[in-house]
């Protein structure tokens, strides 16, 4: 069996045991850094795939709906020398009602100076700036900083296809890096619960052991989190629940590791 397939098989076996068998942690606490980091990498790679597919599943139809709407509703835009030109009578207000709902105001005449008063999120296209107002906060971006471009309605279809083709490489890369960082940081915080469990038995646990146990003990919380994402449900304070599950599992797993007669 090629090495990569052996590692994948080992990952699935370890992930299953991390959820179902606390006796498994008596071995994990003794393993080398190399195996722990390999598990982190494979875990992050799988999570990145699932998150990328989930986001595409939930938002691809909405994205295509918006693109079709924009092709019919957006005027031709040209930015040159830091100034916007809109080829339409202004002020021009367009409201997209699908999903989140978006308001677009095109006004290079100076009639509107702020997106205040429009349903949020609201985008105001002025002669020199693009203003975005969302949740009571306004961001201002100068066209001079954005750079020169020309956007016709036909270009929106081209952009739609480009985004569709580049979505998975970009989203996967983003989620992979994010997951590697986020899960490492979470496991780092959870090592405190492993140390606390060891202290109960007057045992000193090494950082290598506590981090490995905390990382593997995150698996149940990660599985639940992915299931919630797949359903599209929004659960209040889920991050607290997520961290709580990880903390309880870490404490119980570390306790199993240091308890007399556990090996």
Mean pLDDT for back-to-back runs of 10 residues, the chain (263 residues): 77 94 92 96 97 91 92 94 94 89 94 92 96 93 93 91 92 97 97 94 92 97 93 84 96 89 55
Task: Classify residue 248: in a domain, yes or no.
Answer: yes
- Structural domain for 133, as ranges: 82-147
Cis peptide preceding 44, ω within 30 of 0: no
178 and 133 co-located in one domain: no
- Is residue 183 domain-shared with residue 216, that is, in the same domain? yes
- Label residue 119 left, alpha or beta by phi (over 0 means left) and psi (-120 to 50 means alpha): beta
Flag whether 64 is in a domain: no
The pLDDT score that the predictor gives to residue 262 is 54
109 shares a domain with 193: no
Q: Is 226 domain-assigned?
A: yes
Asked, for residue 106, whether it belongs to a domain, the answer is yes
What pLDDT, on a 0 to 100 scale, did the predictor assign at position 2? Answer: 67
| Domain shared by 51 and 180, yes or no | yes
**Is residue 89 domain-resident?**
yes
**The pLDDT value given to residue 50:** 96
| Domain count across the chain | 2
- Same domain assignment for residues 143 and 172: no
Does residue 76 lie within any of the structural domains? Answer: no
Q: Are 111 and 172 contained in the same domain?
A: no
187 and 102, same domain (yes or no): no
Domain-ending residue, one of 99, 114, 147: 147
Radius of gyration (C-alpha) of the chain in whole angstroms: 25
Strand order, beta sheet including 102-106: 92-96, 102-106, 122-125, 129-134, 137-142
Q: Which of 147, 173, 196 is the last residue of a domain?
A: 147
Alpha helices in the chain (DSSP H): 3-20, 25-28, 33-73, 143-146, 153-200, 207-217, 219-231, 238-258
Q: Decide if 153 is inside a domain.
A: no
Residues 176 and 234 in one domain: yes
d(CA 98, CA 61): 11
Dihedral angle, C-alpha 81, 87, 92, 94, nearest 10 °: -100
Do 234 and 195 lie in one domain? The reply is: yes
Predicted confidence at residue 144, as pLDDT, reads 93
pLDDT of the residue at 261: 58
CA distances from 41 to 44, 196, 240, 247 (A): 5, 27, 24, 21
Any idea what DSSP says for residue 236?
T
Decide which of 97, 114, 147 is a domain's last residue.
147
Residue 68 domain-assigned (yes or no)? no
What pLDDT score does 59 carry? 86
User: Quick one: pLDDT at residue 259?
Assistant: 81
Domain shared by 240 and 176, yes or no: yes
Cα 128 to the center of its chain, rounded Å:
32
> Residues 229, 107: one domain?
no
Tell me: do 254 and 167 sit in the same domain. yes
């Amino acid at each position: 069996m090629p090495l990569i397939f052996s590692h994948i098989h080992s990952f699935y076996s370890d992930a299953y045991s991390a959820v179902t068998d606390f006796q498994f942690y008596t071995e994990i606490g003794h393993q080398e850094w190399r195996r722990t980091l390999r598990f982190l990498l494979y875990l992050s790679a799988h999570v990145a795939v699932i998150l990328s597919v989930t986001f595409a599943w939930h938002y691809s139809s909405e994205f295509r709906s918006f693109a079709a709407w924009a092709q019919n509703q957006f005027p031709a835009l040209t930015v040159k020398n830091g100034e916007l030109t809109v080829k339409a009578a202004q002020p021009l207000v367009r409201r997209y009602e699908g999903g989140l709902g978006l308001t677009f105001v095109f006004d290079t005449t100076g009639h509107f100076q702020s997106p205040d008063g429009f349903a949020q999120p609201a985008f105001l296209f002025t002669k020199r700036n693009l203003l975005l107002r969302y949740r009571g906060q306004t961001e201002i971006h100068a066209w001079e900083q954005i750079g020169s471009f020309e956007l016709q309605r036909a270009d929106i279809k081209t952009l739609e296809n480009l985004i569709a083709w580049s979505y998975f490489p970009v989203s996967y890369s983003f989620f992979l890096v994010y997951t590697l960082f986020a899960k490492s940081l979470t496991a780092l915080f959870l090592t405190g619960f492993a140390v606390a469990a060891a202290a109960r038995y007057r045992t000193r646990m090494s950082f290598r052991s506590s981090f490995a146990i905390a990382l593997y003990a995150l698996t149940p919380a990660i599985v639940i989190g992915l299931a919630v994402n797949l359903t599209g449900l929004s659960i209040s304070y889920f991050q607290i629940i997520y961290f709580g599950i990880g903390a309880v599992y870490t404490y119980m797993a570390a306790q199993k590791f240091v308890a007399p007669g556990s090996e």
